Copies of this chain bind each other. A is one copy, B any other.
Amino acid sequence: MALFVYKFGGTSVGSVERIKAVAGKIKKAKERGDDIVAVVSAMSGETNRLTSLAEQMQDEPTSREMDVLLSTGEQVTMSLLSMALHDLDCPACSYTGGQVKILTDSMHSKARVREIDDSNIKKDLEQGLVVVVAGFQGVDENGNITTLGRGGSDTTAVALATALKAKECHIYTDVDGVYTTDPRVEPKARRLDKITFEEMLEMASLGSKVLQIRSVEFAGKYNVALRVLSTFKEGNGTLITYEESEMERALISGIAFNRDEAKLTITGVPDVPGVASKILCPVADENIEVDMIIQNIAADATTDFTFTVHRNDYQKTKAVLEEICKNLSAKQVTGDDSIVKISIVGVGMRSHAGIASTMFRVLADEGINIRMISTSEIKISVVVDEKYLELAVRALHKAFDLDKEDQ
C-alpha cells in the first residue's frame, strides 16, 4: 500500500465516458490497496470555450478575472469525477485549489506555488477517500484565485506528490510514454522505460510535448518520481527519475525536434560592447521569446548576429530588427521561416566523446546542410531546412541505435 498522485489531462477527462473510465482506473488502484490523489484538468475544449467568451467581453481581459473564469473548468471536472467514483462505490471528495489550499504568489495566469496545506487531503485519505483536486489553480494570500499557466495541472500534481511524499506521480495522457522520437516521423521509435529528469527537460523544451517543463523541473528539484502513462491503454509508461546508473549504456536517449522555428540574422553590426542587448532587449520588449543565439565576428570588425524565434513571431521580429538595423547602422536583416530544429539528447554524452562529430557526419552523409549549431552538456541541436526533418530524424535514430530494443 502506497500513496500515488494521478494526474489526468483534458483529453483524459474530455467526455462523460472518459471521466467514467478514469474513475474505473482509480477504483482498480484502490482495490490494489493504494491511496490515490487525483489531479484533473478542464475537459478538453472547455478552456477554449471560456477563453472565447472572455474575448467577446474585452480585448485584453485582466488576468485576475481570466483566472476566476478559467478555474471553473477544473472545478467542473473534479466534481464530475467524484460523482463517477461515488457511482462505483468508491468514496471521494473534491477540492479546488483554494480549498486544498494551494497557496501561490499573486502573479495571475502564471502563479508559482508557495505552500500546500495538505491537512484536508490527509484527513480524507485516512478515512479511505479518494481525493480529487482541481489542477492548474491556487489561491494567493488575499484569497484571489490564481492559475499556474499552461500545463499547470502537471505542476499541481508534482507539488502535491512532493507535499504528500507520494511514491510516484503518474501523469496520464494520450500517449503511453516518452519515445526515442516522434513515432509519426520515425515508425521505429521506441518507448523508453526510463529517462532522467535532465534528459526529459531537454526533450520537453525541444518540443516533445508530453510534459510541461515546469513540472519536470519541479519534480527533479524535489526528486519526485514521475511516470508518464496512457489513460486509455494498459502499460508501465516511462519513469522519469534520477537513477542514472542503469541508463549509462545509452549514449543518447532520444531525438527531439521542433517544427515551429524561424531564424533571423542581422549582418554588419558594428562590433562594440552591448550590441547583443541592443538587439535582444527590443525583441524581448515585444514579448518575443528567443531560442538559439549565435554571434560571429566578421573580418571587417562588424558582427553577424543570428537567432531563432517561434515561427508565429517571425514577421513581428523582422519588423523589430529592421528598426534596430537602422538605429545601429547595421548592414541588413535576413531571415528564414522554413527551418526546423533537431536535437539529440542523452546523459551518456557527458562520458562519451565524438557524439557531436557522429551527428554531423550522419547529416553530411545524407546531404543535409546544417544552418546553425548549439550545444549543451546533454544535448546537441542543429537547425536545418524543414524539408530535411524526417530524413534527419530517421538517419540519427538509426545511427545512434535507438531502433534497437536492448538500448
- Tell which of B57, B72, B94, B143 touches A75, judged by Cβ atoms closer than 8 Å: B72
In the complex, A134 Cα to B210 Cα: how many Å? 36
Does the CB pair B53–A16 fall under 8 Å?
yes
Does the CB pair A19–B57 fall under 8 Å?
yes
Q: Is A78 an interface residue (CB 8 A)?
A: yes
B residues near A78, Cβ cutoff 8 Å: 68
B residues near A59, Cβ cutoff 8 Å: 87
In the complex, A66 Cα to B86 Cα: how many Å? 12
Q: Is A348 an interface residue (CB 8 A)?
A: no
Does the CB pair A80–B53 fall under 8 Å?
yes
Does the CB pair A57–B69 fall under 8 Å?
no
B residues near A45, Cβ cutoff 8 Å: none
Q: With A72-B75, A86-B65 as given contacts, are A80 and B98 in contact (CB-CB < 8 Å)?
A: no
In the complex, A155 Cα to B165 Cα: how many Å? 44
- Tell which of B19, B54, B76, B98 touches A83, judged by Cβ atoms closer than 8 Å: B54
In the complex, A68 Cα to B58 Cα: how many Å? 27
Does the CB pair A65–B50 fall under 8 Å?
no
In the complex, A143 Cα to B86 Cα: how many Å? 21
Q: Is A5 an interface residue (CB 8 A)?
A: no
In the complex, A59 Cα to B89 Cα: how many Å? 12
Does the CB pair B99–A57 fall under 8 Å?
no
For residues 77 through 124 of chain A, which have their beta carbon under 8 Å from a beta carbon of chain B?
78-80, 82-84, 86-87, 93-94, 96, 98-99, 120
- Tell which of B57, B82, B84, B87 touches A87, judged by Cβ atoms closer than 8 Å: B57
Q: Is A56 an interface residue (CB 8 A)?
A: yes
Does the CB pair B80–A94 fall under 8 Å?
no
Task: Mark interface residues in A136-150 (1 if CB within 8 Å of B CB, else 0).
Answer: 000000011100000
Q: Is A62 an interface residue (CB 8 A)?
A: yes
In the complex, A20 Cα to B99 Cα: how many Å? 31
Q: Is A33 an interface residue (CB 8 A)?
A: no
Residue in A19, A56, A78, A94 with the greatest tally of chain B CB atoms within 10 Å: A56
- Tell which of B20, B66, B75 touches A68, judged by Cβ atoms closer than 8 Å: B75
Does the CB pair B83–A58 fall under 8 Å?
yes
Offer 21 A-B interface pairs, CB within 8 angstroms, sorted by A.
A16-B56, A19-B57, A50-B76, A53-B76, A57-B80, A57-B83, A57-B87, A58-B86, A58-B87, A59-B87, A61-B86, A62-B82, A65-B86, A68-B96, A69-B79, A71-B75, A72-B72, A72-B76, A99-B143, A99-B145, A120-B143
18 additional A-B residue pairs with CB within 8 Å, beyond A68-B82, A99-B144 = A16-B56, A54-B79, A54-B80, A54-B83, A57-B80, A58-B83, A61-B83, A62-B82, A62-B83, A65-B86, A65-B94, A66-B79, A68-B75, A68-B78, A68-B79, A72-B72, A72-B75, A72-B76
